[in-house]
Every structure is written in C-alpha cells, then in structure tokens.
C-alpha cells in the first residue's frame, strides 16, 4: 500500500508553501496525497497570491471537504504516514491544541495525535501573543511538531521560490520524505 500523507491547508499567510508541498508530494507515485482546504484558506489564496485552490488540489489523490466530519481522515482506523497542517493559522492551532474536533481538519489532527502518528504544524503569525505560545506548547506536549513558517537565509535564497522550497523541504524532512527541494548545509 502506498504511504498516505494528509495535507491540511488553513487560512494563515503563505499558501505558497502548500502549493510547493502539494507539487512535491503529488509528483511521487509511492505516495497517496489527501488534501483538506479550509474555507479561510480559499480566501487567503485569493487575497495574497495568484494561485487558485486548484493549484493545490489538482495534486491530490483525494480531496476531503472541511465540513465532512464523516470523511476517512476523521477516523483513526484510516491509516496514514503523517499529517501536515500548512500553513497553520492560530485559530486552527488553538482548536488542535484543545482537542476541538469541530471540522475535519481539527478532527483529523486530533485523531492523528491520539493514534500516535506524526503531526506537523507549520504555524504562521507574528508577533506571537501568550495564547499562541501556550497553544504551541500544548500541541508540542501532545505530540505535534511545531515547524514555524519562518524563512532562513543561511542557504542564501535568490527568490521567493527558493525560500518557499527551503521550508517545504524542511517540512518533508520531518516526515522522513526524501526531497531535493533545497541545498543542504554542507552540500
Ligand atoms: C489575508 C489574510 C491573511 C491571514 N494571515 C493569518 C496568519 O498569518 N496567521 C493566522 O493565524 N491567521 C491569519 N489570518 C486569519 C485566519 O484566516 C482566520 O483566523 C481564520 O478564521 C482561520 O481559519 P482556519 O484555521 O479554519 O483556516 C489571515 C486572514 C487573511 C484574510
């Protein structure tokens, strides 16, 4: 059975990262890519990029509706090799940190944690208030990995695409998915 990866895209700034992840994951035939887009993510895509939701969704093996809490990712019996929430809004971080399974993204994240599977939260906000920081701590303590969307410069990016791909590659590293999206330090 190919590995399944679940990518949830929420309404934080930076849907560009989700496009890069969807392209990289969708191009592999050893993976199934399942995608959920929040309603806010659709708005943010339109407001801050030239992408459309389809630039993410067309790479999916299956797309699940955020409102469909009966979709496969809502159950722990539906196995996967990791869930990425990218970008992850502070609203979704709060919902996940507090076990609020009120939409499919939050429910799938809750299930991922309860099953002891890998959950990567690519949080994006600045500056952070104490609530955000406490929610990150709670999510981390519950087993999630917090991978803030904070671009580095040590690889000397020449373009926004370089910066986006660097973070996308580091996210895939978290799931142990080989990728050549960026040049590693020392290479
Ligand atoms: C253009 C735009 C950019 C936004 N950027 C962020 C952000 O970087 N971080 C964040 O936490 N919320 C951000 N928001 C607010 C979220 O979209 C909002 O809290 C929403 O309810 C999140 O819902 P979701 O987590 O279900 O996607 C942004 C909203 C807009 C319209």
Per-residue pLDDT tens for 104-129? 999 999 999 999 999 999 999 999 99
| Ligand 1, atom nearest to 38 Cα | 27
Among 118, 110, 113, which Cα is nearest to 174's? 118
**What average pLDDT score do residues 144-165 get?**
95
Q: Is the pTM of this model over 0.95?
A: yes
Domain that holds residue 18: 3-174
- Among protein residues, the one whose CA lies closest to atom 30 of ligand 1: 44
Q: Is residue 143 in a domain?
A: yes
Q: Is residue 185 in a domain?
A: no
Structural domain count, the chain: 1
Number of H helices, E strands in the chain: 7, 6
Q: Is residue 124 in a domain?
A: yes
- Residue 6: C-alpha distances to residues 67, 72, 91, 127, 186 (Å): 16, 11, 19, 28, 31
**To test the ligand 1 pocket, which listed residue (16, 65, 89, 122) has its Cβ within 8 A of the most ligand atoms?**
89
**What average pLDDT score do residues 160-178 get?**
96
Q: Is residue 183 in a domain?
A: no
Q: What is the pLDDT of residues 94-110, one digit of tens each?
A: 999 999 999 999 999 99
Q: What is the pLDDT of residues 12-41, one digit of tens each?
A: 999 999 999 999 999 999 999 999 999 999
Q: Ligand 1: residues whose CB is within 6 Å?
A: 10-13, 38, 40-41, 43-44, 47-48, 89-92, 124-125
CATH number of the domain where residue 102 is located: 3.40.50.1950
Q: For residue 81, is pLDDT > 70?
A: yes
Give the burial string for 17-43 (b: 16+ CB within 10 Å, else e): bbbbbbbbbbebeebbbbbbbbebbbe
| Ligand 1, atom nearest to 14 Cα | 8
- What pLDDT is attached to residue 187? 85
SS3 9: strand
SS3 3: strand
Among 182, 140, 135, which Cα is nearest to 162's? 182
- What pLDDT is attached to residue 72? 98
User: In sequence order, what are the residues at sequence separation of 6 or more whose Cβ sits closer than 8 angstroms to the Cβ of residue 23?
Assistant: 59
**What average pLDDT score do residues 73-89 get?**
98
Q: Is residue 97 in a domain?
A: yes
Q: For residue 77, is pLDDT > 80?
A: yes
Q: Is residue 159 in a domain?
A: yes
Q: What is the mean pLDDT of the chain?
A: 97
User: In sequence order, what are the residues at sequence separation of 6 or more whose Cβ sits closer than 8 angstroms to the Cβ of residue 85?
Assistant: 8, 9, 10, 92, 96, 105, 109, 119, 120, 121, 122
Distance CA 64, CA 57 (A): 10
Identify whether 87 is preceded by a cis peptide bond (ω within 30 of 0).
Answer: yes
| Ligand 1, atom nearest to 66 Cα | 26
DSSP type of residue 152 = -
Burial of 150 (0-12, 13-18, 19+ CB in 10 A): exposed
- Band of pLDDT at residue 1, cut at 50, 70 and 90: low
Q: Is residue 186 in a domain?
A: no
Q: Is residue 13 in a domain?
A: yes
| Ligand 1, atom nearest to 40 Cα | 27
- What pLDDT is attached to residue 153? 93
């Amino acid at each position: 059975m190919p590995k399944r990866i679940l990518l949830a895209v929420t309404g934080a700034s930076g849907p560009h990262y989700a496009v890069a992840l969807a392209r990289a994951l969708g191009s592999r035939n050893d993976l199934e890519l399942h995608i959920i887009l929040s309603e806010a993510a659709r708005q943010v895509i339109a407001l801050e990029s030239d992408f459309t939701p389809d630039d993410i969704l067309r790479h999916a093996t299956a797309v699940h509706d955020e409102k469909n809490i009966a979709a496969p990712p809502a159950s722990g019996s539906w196995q996967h090799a990791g869930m990425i929430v990218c970008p992850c809004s502070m609203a979704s971080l709060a919902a996940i940190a507090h076990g609020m399974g009120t939409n499919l993204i939050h429910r799938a994240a809750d299930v991922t944690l309860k099953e002891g599977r890998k959950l990567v939260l690519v949080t994006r906000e600045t500056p952070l208030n104490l609530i955000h920081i406490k929610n990150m701590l709670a999510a981390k303590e519950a087993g999630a990995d917090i991978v803030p969307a904070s671009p580095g410069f040590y690889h000397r990016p020449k373009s926004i695409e370089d910066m986006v791909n660097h973070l996308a590659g580091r996210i895939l590293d978290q799931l142990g998915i080989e990728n050549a999206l960026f040049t590693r330090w020392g290479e």
